[in-house]
Amino acid sequence: MNTWIDKTTVRTMLAERENPPFDVRKMSIAMHGNERMLKLKERQMLELERNPLFYMGDYHDLTKDELRERTMSRIASLVHYVTNESVEEFTKRMELIGLFDPGFWTRFGVHYGLFLGAIRSGATPNQFSYWMDKGVIGCNGMFGCFCMTELAHGSNVAGLETTATFDEKTDEFIIHTPHLGATKWWIGGAAQTATHGAVFAKLIVNGRSYGTKTFIVPLRNPQTFDLLPGINVGDIGKKMGRDSIDNGYVQFTNVRIPRAYMLMKHTQVTRDGEVREPPLQQLTYGALLQGRAAMVSDAANMAKKALTIAVRYAAVRRQFKSDPKEPLETQILDYPIHQRRLMPLLAQSVAFGFTALEMVRLYEETSQALEALEPGDPNLAATLELLKETHATSAGLKAFCTWATLESIDKARQACGGHGYSSYNGFASMYADFAVHCTWEGDNTILALQSGRSLIASYQDALEGKHLRAGCVYLNELQTVLQRTGRDADLDSLDGIQRGWDTVAAHAVKKAAEDFQACIDQGMSKDAANEKCSQVRFVAASVHSSCFIFRQFKQAVERLPLQSADDRKVQEHLALLARFYGLWQMEEKAAFFLRARWLSAEQLDLVQAKVSECCTRVRAFAIPLIDAFAISDHIINSPIGRADGNVYAEYFRLVRRNNPQGKPHPYFERVIKPFLFRPTGEGTMEDFDEAIGIDEEIKEIKEDQEAAAAEDAERKSKQEDQERIRKAEDEFK
Amino acid sequence: MNTWIDKTTVRTMLAERENPPFDVRKMSIAMHGNERMLKLKERQMLELERNPLFYMGDYHDLTKDELRERTMSRIASLVHYVTNESVEEFTKRMELIGLFDPGFWTRFGVHYGLFLGAIRSGATPNQFSYWMDKGVIGCNGMFGCFCMTELAHGSNVAGLETTATFDEKTDEFIIHTPHLGATKWWIGGAAQTATHGAVFAKLIVNGRSYGTKTFIVPLRNPQTFDLLPGINVGDIGKKMGRDSIDNGYVQFTNVRIPRAYMLMKHTQVTRDGEVREPPLQQLTYGALLQGRAAMVSDAANMAKKALTIAVRYAAVRRQFKSDPKEPLETQILDYPIHQRRLMPLLAQSVAFGFTALEMVRLYEETSQALEALEPGDPNLAATLELLKETHATSAGLKAFCTWATLESIDKARQACGGHGYSSYNGFASMYADFAVHCTWEGDNTILALQSGRSLIASYQDALEGKHLRAGCVYLNELQTVLQRTGRDADLDSLDGIQRGWDTVAAHAVKKAAEDFQACIDQGMSKDAANEKCSQVRFVAASVHSSCFIFRQFKQAVERLPLQSADDRKVQEHLALLARFYGLWQMEEKAAFFLRARWLSAEQLDLVQAKVSECCTRVRAFAIPLIDAFAISDHIINSPIGRADGNVYAEYFRLVRRNNPQGKPHPYFERVIKPFLFRPTGEGTMEDFDEAIGIDEEIKEIKEDQEAAAAEDAERKSKQEDQERIRKAEDEFK
């Protein structure tokens, strides 16, 4: 192996790309939705790769402070695009950066997504113009943060305790943190970046509380960055990941803001303290959807990135020989067990990709419908229905896709052996950065339960003959679906597999709905029944999600254009991946299939055999498939995941560049030398006793004391005798 | 909430400890094996807590270099105990430190476990004395590292490519790294600490290769720490976790060492190049056992630590109100779904604890038997049998226990919401540090397969009527066991649950053995058959491990002393936990129970209901149970996991101490100010075009060019005409 080019690994990788069974470009277009999106991505990847501020080679060795400073420079270099690019293009650019610097994505998103989003959705037209003029779009003289969560209140917005009390005398609100637990906590951008905060606080007017509203509160003098009076902001320091963003805490001590700094699109407070509340609250939920849809995309992309690394490395890594006559050891991707570790996850990442496309489409449909809505609109009911469904679907998908991707990242790491544990190969930061996706924008377990609750409602709707859309179509022909048994199990067609999922999902939802109804029938409150049935709700949501994802994948495959033999090849291979995903998830959730009697024990063995067979089939085109993911080496940022297969040479080069030799040892003189050459001969305890001779001395002391005591006793007894003699003499006197 | 004491959380925690249903001390003794071990642990925890070098409050903010320097100081402060404490005591001390500074544990272990271990097991008596005299025991003038793995060879010792060529002329070995891929990689302690390495290299004498042997190679001058000639050592830098240890790479370029530096207990090379090979190789496997047994203990302890934090925090954290009449929000530990998230993992951690005690006992039995062995010993066969079994059991347990604990750590983190993502609450480093357990000392998947292979062998032994020990007893009455069906399923007694596990494990092993045999019958080689059957082997190992762990837990409960009512209370509650573990694992692996027809669909519903019921029952005494784990706040090192419940106040204090306020902003002047107040008015593209007026100019240029072209064409056509006329005239001439 030459130090610069490792011919063996590079040749191995080249061989993997010979005669791919489909046109890689066409496959890539299919996975990106259309050619325009793929070209946009390629253009943006090139721009990012060539932007000197986005150099990634030293990323893993930056300290928290260095990382944050560089992130700020990156932000400055990208604001340009906010005003010069379409929203779609800019969203895609952010999505790409989120793949290699998720902390950047968060920090940028804190201002543009959360702070500006709060103003967009909460400000009146005049208020909106005011903040526009102040420079909110271009971060001119201001940068916002989003002060929602509190130290003792994570997910319960209604329970927030920061107060905003109206002072009619001065026409101001007084923002106040009543006690430690109400300290704003986890506030992204607060520690080092923000000049203003969108603060969630309980509105109090004339002693009455009106619930949580949003207030824009200036935090710092933008010219000096000094904190304004009454504001206490601190850094909450090291986190599991995303150290690019400066999360902080914020405490308000009687901070006064003008009345007009309350966002008043929905609720208004007049000059004389009248509070006008909005007729309808629900529509604000729309704001949550974008985040969740983005997280499904992110889950798909991050899983693809992790698998790109693990599968490419498995293709060039060789261990042991299956056949002693072979000159080289076996590629570990050729071992069936290694295929079992990676191929199902690969199929899953493709499934997530198509699901994300659908989720984004659904989000756009929903938000357009919401925006088009006018007061008294006859479409209100239908739009709310759509919103409810999108909300429930996105909640479940956010939960199960982010969980699955987090697991994929760590399984991919483990599949790379020891080298997966080096920071330079990327899994460590990928895991640590991604992990928070399971918690924020709704804890996954809670979201899964929300999705489960909505499924119970859909089940009841179906029983009442209401026609259900998209995700829950299987509930429309409930009785037919529930009657199906394994006898009609067709494991080879997508339709057959879909039938299985529909049946099993229907059973799981039925069980949840019936258990819930039983609790209601026993006289429980809805809340109590929901709590009691949380586990079955969770299970229903889990099975439904697999069913939903499979359906999206299947439909995406069926919708592909078929104008050429190349198109048909692409469809054929994606159909194989869809089938693989459906069967593998069936194996993973086999208990539900057995329990619903859709599979017999023997059929389950068959499912397992088919999954193993799919592993081998997909392995054959795994590298071309991954090439079609179209993620640049700059974004992959992992020497063992390089496209060209020159893994060891580049890994070594990177490690050596980031850990330069020849510098003096940082603590040899201070710690190691004194340790290695510490004076010995402290001696044992026996030596020590002998040296001091303490026992001899103790013996002498003891003897002296005893002698003295004996003397004393003698003296005393003499005294006593004399005393007695004297007394006796006295008596006889 | 006061800033220093949060009365609500502290009172809540106190209430959790009122009237525990068992004596916490007695419970603790039961879980530690005996009172002596518990007292030893308590003494050592106190010593560590009071050792100023083991201060943990700033741990998460140390840079890699600071961490490494402090670790070196810690090592220096502990060498004292190596010579003044029994091996048992010292092992326990290391186990404790491993719970809060796993990197320390590794760095210390590199010298004492691996380097010294290599000398112990590989040196002749004279060689051993030589290294003793050099100071190996007290690190006097030397510190060792263990140079096994290479950049391109992780797990395959036989494939290592570093060479040790005997030079008879000089009576030396030449140690050499032939190419980049053979660079020693991941070598703990190499980058900054080691003076010597125990180097695995291919022995070559007179051109013939004798396989991999161990050589002691001096790396640095201990007085100056300069690298010796031919040695290249570098730092491999940032890792996912364990940055306390300085992993490095080592390259040898024709490095000469005396012949006597090869460890020659097993293989000898004489002065004239004769190689004497050992009659028996197997016994060296014993060395692997200790590491694996320690990792099972570590998995148990680390899971207990993670759950201590998550369960304590769930006890004092309140979110939403189940009952609007209650003055306080509900403790989240009271929500059934939260119990479902944590209680099964809690039971599992207790199960792992008892399994670890048994694993350590088995290791000690095995290593004593190995040490007692003499040449020609009649016990050889029995001892090898024992070694084989311990080896297979420890392989499977290492894999499944470390996987489960890694999962527990992250589930515990997620159960703590956002605060789980703060480094200060400990999960981030716990996960990152622990993750490598799934990879080193044998990749988990590979170990699981080894365990599966050994189960197939045991199955064949059972068919031949051989009596099997401990873990595989269920194979002894194979036919009876396999015949059992759900009709005799008793889900309430430990015996009943054990029968279920025995049956299902027997079915899984049978399936693996039969698939394997079918491959052999088709004419496959053993290796090919093993590869082909890897997935069924894996499944067999997985089911067997749950079965084994349940059996250990059950037996431990049955062996508890029963001399008082208190003893019976302890046993009763541990029996509940054992049953809980057995049932929950049954639910987790339900597909195998359904497939083996040990459970029917209806019984599975019953299992799930019982698991939910166990969750609620265990929740009632979760805090006293966790107190019995006896892990000090110093080791927990997580404000939200504090014993006293004063979580928010201490969390805030810790964050503030580690991120002091009032310092100048690190990059405001350099980056933020120029960004917020950058000159605007770069202008749009239209402005720009207008300013330069390029389009007018282009128009002018175009007109000029067109005019010129027209002129040119006219001139050309005139030329052509004249040419034609000239030609015609010529023809007519």
What span, in angstroms and rounded, lies between the C-alpha atoms of A401 and A389?
18
Instruction: Tell me the sheet residues that pair with A167.
Output: A172
Domain B444-618 = CATH 1.20.140.10: yes
Nearest in space to B426 (alpha carbons), one of B439, B438, B409, B411: B409
Instruction: Give the model confidence (pLDDT) of B520-567 as tens digits.
Output: 999 999 999 999 999 999 999 999 999 999 999 999 999 999 999 999
In this prediction, the answer to ipTM > 0.90 reads: yes
3-state SS of B70-121?
HHHHHHHHHHHHHHHCCHHHHHHHHHHHHHHCHHHHHHHHHHHHHHHHHHHH
> Which among B63, B154, B191 is the nearest to A418, CB-wise?
B154
Contact A675 B2 (CB under 8 A): no
Beta-carbon contacts of A348 under 8 Å, excluding residues fewer than 6 positions away, are A303, A404, A408, A581, A584, A585
What span, in angstroms and rounded, lies between the C-alpha atoms of B606 and B587?
10
Report, as an integer, the average pLDDT of A1-19: 86
What span, in angstroms and rounded, lies between the C-alpha atoms of A419 and A647?
11
Beta-carbon contacts of B57 under 8 Å, excluding residues fewer than 6 positions away, are B654, B657, B658
Contact B661 A234 (CB under 8 A): yes
Q: Quick one: how far is CA B396 from the chain centroid?
A: 14
CA trace torsion B571, B575, B577, B579 (10° rounding): 180
Ramachandran sector of residue B139 (left: φ over 0; alpha: ψ -120 to 50; beta: rest): left
Coil vs helix vs strand at B611: helix
Report, as an integer, the average pLDDT of A223-243: 96
Q: Is the pTM of this model over 0.90?
A: yes
Q: What burial class does residue B631 get, using C-beta atoms within 10 Å of its C-beta: 0-12 exposed, 13-18 middle, 19+ buried?
A: buried
Q: Tell me which residue has tokens 């530990």.
A: B333
What span, in angstroms and rounded, lies between the C-alpha atoms of B166 and B203?
8
For the record, the structure tokens of B163 come out as: 């060479």
Beta-carbon contacts of B521 under 8 Å, excluding residues fewer than 6 positions away, are none
Among A132-136, A262-266, B479-483, B670-674, name the one with the lowest average pLDDT: B479-483
What span, in angstroms and rounded, lies between the C-alpha atoms of B573 and B614?
11
Report, as an integer, the average pLDDT of A15-31: 97
Instruction: Give the model confidence (pLDDT) of A143-153 as tens digits.
Output: 999 999 999 98
State how far residue A142 is from chain B, nearest Cα, in angstroms.
6
Q: What burial class does residue B715 get, using C-beta atoms within 10 Å of its C-beta: 0-12 exposed, 13-18 middle, 19+ buried?
A: exposed
pLDDT value of position B158? 84
Among A65-69, A337-341, A466-470, B457-461, name the one with the lowest average pLDDT: A466-470
- Chain B residue with minimum CA distance to A432: B428
State how far residue B509 is from chain A, nearest Cα, in angstroms.
15
Phi, psi (rounded to 5 degrees) for B179: -160, 170
Contact B238 A423 (CB under 8 A): yes
Phi, psi (rounded to 5 degrees) for A561: -65, 145
State how far residue B214 is from chain A, nearest Cα, in angstroms.
21
Whether residue A395 contacts residue A293, with contact meaning beta carbons closer than 8 Å, is answered with no
> Which among A142, A237, A320 is the nearest to B655, CB-wise?
A237
The reply to whether A444-607 shares the fold of A113-278 is: no
User: If residue A716 lies in a helix (H) or strand (E), which one and from where to where?
Assistant: helix A694-732
Q: Tell me which residue has tokens 């089911």.
A: B543
Q: Tell me which residue has tokens 């590794």.
A: B106
State how far residue A467 is from chain B, nearest Cα, in angstroms.
30
Find chain A residues with C-beta within 8 A of B61's C-beta.
237-238
What span, in angstroms and rounded, lies between the C-alpha atoms of B150 and B183?
5
What span, in angstroms and rounded, lies between the C-alpha atoms of A624 and A25?
10
Q: DSSP letters along A529-594, please? A: HHHHTHHHHHHHHHHHHHHHHHHHHHHHHHHS---SHHHHHHHHHHHHHHHHHHHHHHHHTHHHHH
Binding site for FAD: residue ranges of A? 149, 188
Domain ranges of chain B: 144-273, 444-618
A514 reaches B (C-beta below 8 A): no
Coil vs helix vs strand at A644: coil
Round the average pLDDT of chain A to a whole number and report it. 92
Find chain A residues with C-beta within 8 A of B240's C-beta.
413, 421-423, 427-428, 431
CATH of region A113-278: 2.40.110.10
Whether residue A548 contacts residue A396, with contact meaning beta carbons closer than 8 Å, is answered with yes
Confidence of residue A45 (pLDDT cuts 50, 70, 90): very high
What span, in angstroms and rounded, lies between the C-alpha atoms of B108 and B245?
9
What span, in angstroms and rounded, lies between the C-alpha atoms of B6 and B3?
7
Whether residue A189 contacts residue A246, with contact meaning beta carbons closer than 8 Å, is answered with yes
- Chain A residue with minimum CA distance to B589: A591
Q: What burial class does residue B575 get, using C-beta atoms within 10 Å of its C-beta: 0-12 exposed, 13-18 middle, 19+ buried?
A: middle
pLDDT at residue A166 is higher than 90 = yes
| Amino acid code (one letter) for B634 | H
Contact B239 A421 (CB under 8 A): yes
| Termini Cα distance of chain A | 121
pLDDT value of position B379? 80
Domain A444-607 = CATH 1.10.30.50: no
Confidence of residue A721 (pLDDT cuts 50, 70, 90): confident
Contact A140 B677 (CB under 8 A): yes
State how far residue A477 is from chain B, nearest Cα, in angstroms.
24
pLDDT value of position A546? 97
A151 reaches B (C-beta below 8 A): yes
> Which among B237, B428, B535 is the nearest to A659, CB-wise?
B237
B421 reaches A (C-beta below 8 A): yes
User: Is residue B188 a known part of a binding site?
Assistant: yes
pLDDT at residue A449 is higher than 70 = yes
**What residues 642-671 of chain A have any CB closer than 8 A to a CB of chain B?**
648-649, 651-652, 655-656, 658-659, 661, 665-668, 670-671
Nearest in space to A314 (alpha carbons), one of A400, A246, A415: A415
> Which among B60, B317, B675 is the nearest to A139, CB-wise?
B675
Find chain A residues with C-beta within 8 A of B656's C-beta.
234
Coil vs helix vs strand at A297: helix
Whether residue A219 contacts residue A228, with contact meaning beta carbons closer than 8 Å, is answered with yes
What span, in angstroms and rounded, lies between the C-alpha atoms of A642 and A653?
13
pLDDT value of position A733? 57
pLDDT value of position B683? 54
Q: Give the residue from A153, A180, A532, A603 with the most B CB atoms within 10 Å of its CB, the best one to mutate.
A: A180
Q: What angle do the packed helices A35-50 and A24-32 form, to 10 degrees? A: 100
Give B144-273's CATH code, choosing from 2.40.110.10, 3.40.1130.10, 3.40.718.10, 3.10.450.50.
Answer: 2.40.110.10
B325 reaches A (C-beta below 8 A): no
Contact B675 A439 (CB under 8 A): no
Instruction: Tell me the sheet residues that pair with B212.
Output: B202
What span, in angstroms and rounded, lies between the C-alpha atoms of A516 and A35?
47
The pLDDT > 70 percentage for chain A reads 95
pLDDT value of position B3? 62
pLDDT at residue A34 is higher than 80 = yes
B265 reaches A (C-beta below 8 A): no
What span, in angstroms and rounded, lies between the C-alpha atoms of B108 and B114?
10
pLDDT value of position A278? 80
Coil vs helix vs strand at A212: strand
What span, in angstroms and rounded, lies between the C-alpha atoms of B350 and B362?
19
- The total number of residues written for chain B in this structure: 733
What span, in angstroms and rounded, lies between the C-alpha atoms of B684 and B696?
18
Coil vs helix vs strand at A164: strand
Whole-Å CA distances, B319 to A657, B313, B327, B598: 49, 12, 12, 41
What span, in angstroms and rounded, lies between the C-alpha atoms of B110 and B116?
8
Other beta carbons less than 10 A from residue B25's beta carbon: 15
Instruction: Point out the residues of chain B with pLDDT beneath 70.
Output: 1-3, 155, 279-287, 322, 375, 470, 488, 680-690, 725, 728-733
State how far residue B49 is from chain A, nearest Cα, in angstroms.
22
pLDDT value of position B1? 53
Whether residue A339 contacts residue A615, with contact meaning beta carbons closer than 8 Å, is answered with yes
Contact B422 A238 (CB under 8 A): yes
> Which among A60, A183, A192 is the nearest to B238, CB-wise?
A60
> Which among A341, A413, A655 is the nearest to B236, CB-wise?
A655
